Amino acid sequence: MLRYRPDFVRSRTIEPIRPRLYLISPPTIDLDAFEIDFRNALNGGDIACFQLRLKDQPADVIRAATQRLMPIAQEKGVAFLLNDDPELAAELKTDGVHVGQKDTPYKQARALVGDDAIVGVTCHDSRHLAMTAAEQGADYVAFGAFYPTTTKDAPTRAETDLLEWWTSLAVTPCVAIGGITVDNVTPLIKSGADFIAVSSGVWKYSKGPEQAVAEFNRVIDMSVTS
Ligand SMILES: Cc1ncc(COP(=O)(O)OP(=O)(O)O)c(N)n1
Ligand SMILES: Cc1ncsc1CCOP(=O)(O)O
Ligand SMILES: [Mg+2]
């Protein structure tokens, strides 16, 4: 099966890495209204992937949202990941799944979705969790929360030196998450984050999601060239 996947392998190079946007849905949505916001966000510029993160919703709600939104993402070359549920991800043939430390363990998730799917793992602020996930074959490790957020009661705060340390020794890409906005993203880019995961910083941006994605990409371009 052909899957959409951004380049989840970092090559060691002297060129500065251009991080890419990793969009995360709000925890609850009205599907009709969100489809409009989603299309607008995708029109704003480069996005590597989208994670459907509908917390504590029935499987049928997640199925309906996936069936509506996944083709829209894939048509734009944006990989579609499901949060939390590798079994449902396998059933819906999403491009991948994200699992946290309290979700299905990585190896079980991998067995469910197959080798060609993307599997990312939450590693909080932990070097040990990241090394374990990368060794087991995770496509990316996610660190956070870098900033205060109201989207999730995040159990840990991560600092930029973690990104610097990780990118100096690992080839598995890292995702920075938590309270990231166009105004505070620059230190994360400068510290080597491969992907910048954003929810409210896009959906609640004062000028709307399309402008938010455009502005994130503008800041990323500025930060890697300066
Ligand atoms: C890219 C990314 N990073 C971290 C998380 C958090 O996952 P988890 O710790 O399982 O918490 P929930 O998101 O499930 O509430 C994520 N979803 N995505
Ligand atoms: C899912 C998740 N994991 C750690 S912080 C967070 C919330 C991300 O959303 P926002 O970008 O709105 O802070
Ligand atoms: Mg989870």
Ligand number nearest CA of 176 is 1
Q: What is the pLDDT of residue 87?
A: 98
Assigned domain for 13 exists = no
pLDDT band with cut points at 50, 70 and 90 for residue 155: very high
The answer for residues whose C-beta is within 8 angstroms of residue 45's C-beta and 6 or more apart is 21, 213, 214, 216, 217
Stretch 202-214: mean pLDDT: 98
pLDDT over 80 (residue 61): yes
Residue that wins the pLDDT comparison between 16 and 198: 198
Which of 143, 199, 216 most suits a substitution to test ligand 2, by most atoms within 8 Å of the C-beta? 199
pLDDT band with cut points at 50, 70 and 90 for residue 225: confident
What is the extent of the structural domain holding 47?
20-225
Assigned domain for 1 exists = no
Query: What average pLDDT does the structure give for the chain?
Result: 94
Q: Which pTM was predicted? A: 0.95
Assigned domain for 147 exists = yes
pLDDT tens track for 2-44? 566 666 655 545 556 799 999 999 999 999 999 999 999 999 9
On whether the CB atoms of residues 79 and 6 are closer than 8 A, the answer is: yes
Kindly report the CATH number assigned to the domain that includes residue 54. 3.20.20.70
Assigned domain for 81 exists = yes
Distance (angstroms) between ligand 1 centre and the Cα of 138 equals 14
Q: What is the pLDDT of residue 63?
A: 98
Assigned domain for 8 exists = no
Phi, psi angles (nearest 5°) of residue 81: -115, 150
Provide the domain count of the chain. Answer: 1
Stretch 53-79: mean pLDDT: 97
Q: What is the pLDDT of residue 12?
A: 46
Instruction: Give yes or no for residue 122 CB within 6 A of ligand 1.
Output: yes
Stretch 125-135: mean pLDDT: 97
Assigned domain for 5 exists = no
**What's the half-sphere exposure (Cβ side, CA atoms, 13 Å) at 71?**
4
Distance (angstroms) between ligand 1 centre and the Cα of 37 equals 21
pLDDT tens track for 86-110? 999 999 999 999 999 999 999 999 9
Distance between CA atoms of residues 21 and 44, nearest Å: 11
Assigned domain for 9 exists = no
Assigned domain for 163 exists = yes
% of the chain residues with pLDDT over 90: 90
